[in-house]
Structures are given as structure tokens and as C-alpha cells.
Structure 1
Amino acid sequence: MEYVIVGLLGVVIVLLLVLVFRKNNNNEMTERLGHFEANINKEIGEFKYGFSKVLTQDFELLNERIEKKLTLINDRVNERLDQNFEKSNKTFMNVLERLNKIDEAQKKIDSLNGEIVSLQSVLTDKKTRGTFGEVNLEYILNNAFGSNKNGIYKTQVKLSTGVIADAILYAPAPLGTIAIDSKFPLENYQRMTDKTKTKEEREYHEKLFVQDVKKHINDISEKYIIPGETTDEAIMFLPAEALFAEINAYHPELLNFAYNKRVWIAGPTTLISTVSIISMILKNMERDKYAKVIHEELNKLSVEFSRYKDRWDKLARTVKSVNQSIDELHTTSEKITKRFDSINSVDLDKLGNKEDTIKIETY
């Protein structure tokens, strides 16, 4: 564009020189030069208008494409979030429903507290109680994670030391692999709560109950906390809510002992809460995978915006340079017109008798 302008300027200067040497055609050449200048101004104006129109159309088209892309991304994000929120809400409602069922069952257990002897007829020995605890544990894990397990937990797992854990929970970091073992210290608990016995007998059996629980805590700490294989904490599951309530309400020394041994004591309700939280964490981690994809797409879009800005700035500088060249050409044209007017006002016959030379300024 600058070369064209310089070329036009050169043509104008050549015409000026021709006019100086052809005195008899000054008026006609002045008129032609005026028409020529008007045509140049008209063509430059049309060029500016066409260039501005094309630029506006391209910018509008670019904005339209960007808006469509952003709308599409937003729709996809909202769709995935809605799906995930719906699934999370269903899971939460299922947990609440199960907790309500557990509360109802607990009320029934409380109402049947005086008939615990019937339970004793079923749980006659340690093996039977152990089976009851294992079944109860697996039922809770199935409700939380599903019967297919999905690699989140396993039951009856043999560890490197040869011991068998009732369940292994593969929790996300930083929790890691957690061993769960079911314990059911029932005999001394029944005797310490038996109202038919004397106070001294109940206190004696209460001490034995505390010893039983401490032994279970020690066994779990020594057997199921294995450096490099399991996490440095384990869970002791008490399948009867009454046992957990007794320890939690009246035996804080057992809670402190378990804490020092890095063993969590859990009843059915607290274990359900624990595994439900872990389940929600796993689902949130799965949802975060989609959030990472969205973040990557936004980063790519940011790069495109950066390129768009650079190209727009470059185009703006080009337009500014063109406008500046047009202004300079207009100034030169004005000066040439004034010079022709000055030449036309001079008496050429008088000038012919003198040896003065007319010097033409160039701008």
C-alpha cells in the first residue's frame, strides 16, 4: 500500500514538472490534476469503507464462532455436572434411607433389649459370633459400595503375615489400605448388664469386659497394621450397636487406648458413615476427571484468544499506518494545489524576460 502511494506521488510530481514546461496548458492540466486528485480521494475513501466493512464482518463472524463454542462447552459442562449431581443426590438419598432404616432397627433393638437372652441362644460360641460379625460387616460394605465391590474392598483377605482380615478397604490416598476385623465381646457385657447380679458381680464382669476389649485392640494393632502393606491404622468393628454405645459413653479409657494403638472402634452406624464418606470421596475423584478435561479445554481456548489478540493488534497497527499514509498524501495534495494556484497567478510574459528560475519545492 505504501509503494502505491509513493508511486502516485511520483506521478503527480512528474505531471507538475510537465505543467511547468507547458505554460499554455496550465489551466487544462490543473483541471485534470484536480480530477485526478478527486478520483484518488474517492478510491481511497472506497477502499477505507470496503476494508472497514470486511473487517467488521470478519470480527462479527469470529465473535459468533467463539460464542457458539463457549455455549457448546457450557452446555456440556452443565450436562455432566447435572448428571453427576443427580447421581450424588441419589446416593445421598439412599444413604439417608438406609440410615432411617437403621434408626428404625435400632429402635426395635432398644425395645427388645430385655430379650437379649434369645440372642444368646443363637450366639452360643465365639465362632458363631464371629460369623455373625463377618456377615454384618459384609452387608454394610455391600450397601455402601455394591456387591460387585469394584476393587474397593475385599473380604477374608490373607495378609503377608499369614493372618486373615475380615475385610480390606482400599481407600484413596492418604488413607490407603485399611484392615477391618470384627470383634464381638458378648459374654462379659451380658453379665455386667445383668440386673439379677449383685453390684460387685457386675463391676467384676465390667473389668473383664474392659480387658476383653483391650485384648482385641492389641490383637488388631499387632496383626493388621503392617508397614508397607497396610496403612498405619486399622478398624475394629463391633456388630452390636449396644457394645459401641457402652464403650463410647462409659469407657473413655478404652477409646484412648485404641487411639494410642491406632485402632478405630466402629459400630454399625459409625462404620456406615465412614464407608459412605469414602464412597463419596471416590465418586468426587471420578467427577474430578471430567473437571480436568474441562480445564484443559479452557486452557486451549485461552491460547486461541491470545492468538486472536495478537492478530487483532497487528491488524490495528496496519490500519493505523494506512490512515497515516492517507493523511500525508492529503497534505501533499493540498500543497501541490496551492503551488499550482500560485503559478497560475504569475504573469508568464514578465517572467519570460527575466532570467530568474522558478524553483519548485518538494514536500
Structure 2
Amino acid sequence: MIEILLGILILLAIINLFIGLKKNATIDVIPQLKEIELAILKFDDTLERTEKSIRDEFQRNRKETNEISSANREELTKSLNIFGEQFSQNVKDLNELIRQKFGDFSKQQSEINKQATDNIKGVEITIEKHLKSIREDNNQQLNEMRKTVDEKLQTTLEKRLGESFKQVSERLELVHKGLGEMQNIAVGVGDLKKVLSNVKTRGVLGEYQLENILEQILTPDQYAKNVATKKGSQANVEFAIKLPGKESGKEVWMPIDSKFPIEDYHILLEAFDKGDKIEIDIAQKVLIKKIESFAKEISEKYIDPPHTTDFGIMFLPVESLYAEVLRHPGLFEILQRKYKITVTGPTTLSALLSSLQMGFRTLAVQKRSSEVWDILKAVKFEFKEFAGVLEKAHKQINTASGTLETLRTTRTNVLERKLKDVETFTSIESKEILELPDNKIEEDSTDE
């Protein structure tokens, strides 16, 4: 600090000297320099005194500062001690106050809990009373409903049980009848087994089935039974169908004979069940040979063109037997080519006869076409008469409808206007006065 002030003073002196030199260059500078030197010396003394004074002042300031700091520390220590004591006391007071408040809060909470408990008990008592009342009402209603339901159930149950026992009795009666029928069927099966084990009766069975098919499809005048189709032969074919010949009035017979090689077929089925290929081949050969012998017999005994067709029909009464014949390749063609025999089963024979029946109908229509034309003319005339009568009836119905509409609108409006001011009874009173029947339909309680 002192060095800075000294430097400033020297700088000012030099500046002053420079200015003076500029003003008067002729002035002698030596005396001025001496004056400057003296001034500098004086300034040094002054500076020393000032420095000493400043040091003393700094020393006094440090001492005062130390004393003030010490006093402040002592005062701060006392203040902190006092604050600590007051804070401890305040904390104690606060803890005591909190303890008191918590005690009061616990008491209030206990009172609130007690009051809530008393209120809950009161609510429980009230709820129990209401629930008891509700239970009593529900029990009473349930008892009434149970009584009503029991009565209806008893009535319905008695009715349904009566109906069920009646149905059971009827079913048992039907079961007894069914058992009797089963016994009859068992007897019939035994009789059928006996029939099938007899060659003659087997032939009768096939003939009976063939006759049923012919009766269902053809008319009695379209076929004949036990016909001698071959001239000079006493052999009669079982059935023959009448076909129109080339000459009018002459008939051509188509022979049909039933065959039933059941023993050979059963042997083949048993071989299939065993799965023995050798037995199957043997049984098939025997069956094929038997079918060929039947075809040869029919061809030789019953086919005699032009009195008969140039072919005959062998009927096999069992579809599975017919399928077995078709299963062998070439057998069907051999029978047709060699013996002029067509093998049929129940289904194929029905189809064949249906085709013949359609041909018969077409032929009959052709023969009676003139009669049909006359009938159509008569129908046309009668239809014209019917149309005229229908038109008259339509006009009369329209006239009656118009009259009814006029009566409904005009007379009804007049009656309603006349009776507008008349008071009306209820439905029940009007029925009682007019003695009308009650048409209300009551529902059956059993259907509810």
C-alpha cells in the first residue's frame, strides 16, 4: 500500500517537473531538484509516520477483532447453551403435550368404538327382527306354495301315473302279443327250415315268390300258370307271359321258370366263412354246373319258336344267389348265347316286367286311340258347359257379396247411431240378461 502511494507521488513530481520545464526552459532546474529531494525526504518521513500509524491501527484492529470474536464466541456459546436448554425443555413440553393428546385421542377413540359397538348391536337387533319377520313371511309363503304345489303335483302325479300305468299295461299287452308273434315266427322259421331242406318245397317257395311278383306288376290276363309252351311235350312251365304275335289273335309265350339250388349255395357260403380257397373253388364250380344244367333244362323243355320267344327266363328267388351268378365272368353271356336263357333275380325281374307292362300299355293306347279321342271330345263339351255354369255362379256370388256389404255398412251405421245414447252393460251383465253361454276357455291345470 505504501509503495503504491510513494510511486504515485514520484510520478506526480516528475509530471510537475516536466510541465515546469516546458513553461520555462531557461529556469535553472537544480534548485527545483533540491526542492524535490527535500519534498521526497519529507514525504519519506511522513510515509514512515503514516506506516507506523497504520501498523498501530492494524494491530489495534486485530486486537479488537480478536476480542470481539472471543466475545462473540462466548456469547454464541451461551446462546447455543440457552437454545439447547430451551429446545430440550420445548421437546419435553411437546412430548408431554403429545402424550396428553394421544391419551385424549385414545379415550375419544374408545368412546367412539363403544358407541359404534352399541350402534352395531342395535342395528344387528333391528336386522335380526326384520330377518326373523322376513323368514316367517317366507316360511308362510313357502308353506302355502308347497301346499299348492303338493296339491297340483298330487293331482298331476295321480293323473300321469294313471296314464303311465295305462300305457305300461298297453305296452305289456303289446309285448305279450309280440312274444306270441315271436313264438309264431320261431315256429315259422322252423317250418321254413324244414321247407328249405326239402327239394320239392324249395321249388314251391320259388314258384310262390315268382307268382307274387307277377301279380304285383302284370294283370291276370297278361300271364298264365303251368303252360305247355312246346308242342308235342307234356312239360309245363311254371309261368308264361302272353306277348302279342305278328298275326292278330295269336299269342306268343315267354316262359319263366324258378330255380333254387340252395344246398349248393349253402355249401359255397360255408366255404366263404371258412376262408378255404380250395373249397370255395370247388363249391363255385358245382354251383355253376348246376345253373348251366337248369338253363339247359329250360331251353330244351319250354322254348319252341314261333309259339314261344326264342329265349326263356330263369328266376333265382334270392338276390345274393343272383349276384353270385353275375360275379363269375362270362357265365351270364354263356347262358344267353348257348341256351338262350336270361338269369334274373327279384329286382331285375321286376324291372323287366315293368318294361313289358309299359309296352302293353302303349299297345293298348294305340289300339284304343279312337276311343280316347271321342272321350276327349266329350270332355271338351262338358268343360264348356261347366265353364258357363261356373260363370253364372260367380256372378251370383258377387251379387250376394254386394248385398251383404250394403247391409253391413248401411244398417250397422243406422243401428249404432240410434243406440249411441243408450248405456251399455258389462260383458258379464249382458250375458246374464241375454242368457248367453260363457265361451271363456279355461286352461288345464295339468298343462301349467
TM-score, normalized by length of structure 2? 0.37
TM-score, normalized by length of structure 1? 0.45
| Greater RCO, CA 8 A, separation 6+ | 1
Larger Rg: 2
